[in-house]
Structure 1
Amino acid sequence: MRDKRTSKAAVSVEHVVLGRAVRELRARRDLSQERLGFHSGLHRNYVGAIERGEINPTFRTLLTLSSGLVVPLSELVRLYERRRVDHIPAEVAR
């Protein structure tokens, strides 16, 4: 899957949906990527790559992101699961 705005390919639809969940939680807390990176101990460019679905973050990275967002990891996963339903093709959902 290639994003038309960038030259980098997304890892998978699941990673794009995860990135959107991270972006939504970050926006709810009114944090910039730079600020989230600071609170998480991650570089802002890395946070951006996660949000765009360009990389496959490790479990440890997801834990540090949830810590920086001040939410339990389960909330990030719950939001991912809700958003993922929106991306299931109609023929698969039946």
Structure 2
Amino acid sequence: MANVCERFGERLREVREGAGISQERLAELAGLHRTYVSSVERGKRNISLENIERLAVALEVEMAALMPIRAPKNGV
């Protein structure tokens, strides 16, 4: 099972692609660097709540829409 950072990154990519926005454009809209967004999507960063909010605002979704499905109880 993927860790929470990887699952968050997968979910962010799903939402971003669903909105038809490139990583570069999302980074621009959120005031972040493209390589940062890329590393978040690859699960390489433990993203802060502030940056989750910035991405949600840029994607015009609620922060909760970016949250991955909860891991099974034995998969923490």
RMSD: 1.8
TM-score, normalised relative to structure 1:
0.72
1:48 Cα offset (Å): 0.2
1:56 Cα offset (Å): 0.7
Among 61, 70, 73, the alignment partner of 2:60 is 70
- How many residue pairs get aligned? The number is 74
- The yes-or-no answer on 1:50 pairing with 2:33 is no
1:13 Cα offset (Å): 1.0
Matches of 2:6 and 2:51, distance apart in 1: 16
Letter in 1 for 2:47: P
CA deviation digits over 1:47-86, x for unaligned, max 9? Answer: 0000000011110000001011110101112xx12xx44x
Letter in 1 for 2:56: S
Partner of 2:17: 27
1:34 Cα offset (Å): 0.2
In structure 1, the gaps of 5 or more residues are 1-11
Matches of 2:6 and 2:45, distance apart in 1: 9
CA deviation digits over 1:20-63, x for unaligned, max 9? Answer: 00000000011110000011111110000000000111100000
Runs of 4+ in 1 over 3 A off after TM superposition: none
Of structures 1 and 2, the one with the larger relative CO (CA 8 A, separation 6+) is 2
In structure 2, the gaps of 5 or more residues are none
